[in-house]
């Protein structure tokens, strides 16, 4: 979790071969309470960090190898620490 934008970008390139425009790459610590998001916006990259004081991030359960596709609502819920598995139609959380 000490990685800056250059180190995070190097890890993405090593694993995926390239950083694709308009994609986000998420990194988390072992406890699941800290996350960094590297985003390639088509012009460059930016890195943001999020730390939860209580609880942990709820990752999606449907992995396809080393990637998971998230819609914008799911990414927002994940970064905010909400249980994205429980997001319903229209981004409504039905059960907590």
Residue 46 belongs to a domain:
yes
Domains held by the chain: number: 1
What's the confidence (pLDDT) of residue 96? Answer: 45
The three-point CA angle 64-35-62 to 5° equals 20
67 within a domain of the structure (yes/no): yes
User: Which stretch of 2-11, 46-55, 74-83 has the lowest confidence by average pLDDT?
Assistant: 74-83
Looking at per-residue confidence, does 17 or 85 come out higher? 17
- What would the pLDDT profile of 60-74 be if each residue is shown by its tens digit? 665 666 677 777 777
**Residue-range definition of the domain harbouring residue 61:** 5-91
Instruction: Tell me, yes or no, whether 25 lies in a domain.
Output: yes
pLDDT of residue 19: 92
pLDDT digits (tens, 9 = 90+) for 4-51: 999 999 999 998 899 999 888 888 888 888 989 999 988 989 999 988
Q: pTM of this prediction? A: 0.70
Q: For residues 74 and 84, is the Cβ–Cβ distance under 8 A?
A: yes
């Amino acid at each position: 979790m000490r990685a800056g934008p250059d180190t995070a970008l190097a890890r993405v390139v090593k694993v995926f071969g390239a950083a694709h425009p308009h994609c986000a790459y998420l990194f988390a610590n072992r406890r699941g309470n800290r996350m960094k998001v590297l985003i390639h916006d088509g012009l460059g990259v930016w890195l943001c960090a999020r730390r939860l004081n209580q609880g942990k991030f709820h990752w999606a359960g449907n992995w396809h190898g080393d990637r998971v596709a998230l819609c914008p609502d799911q990414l927002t819920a994940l970064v905010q620490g909400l249980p994205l598995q429980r997001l319903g139609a229209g981004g409504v959380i039905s059960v907590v």
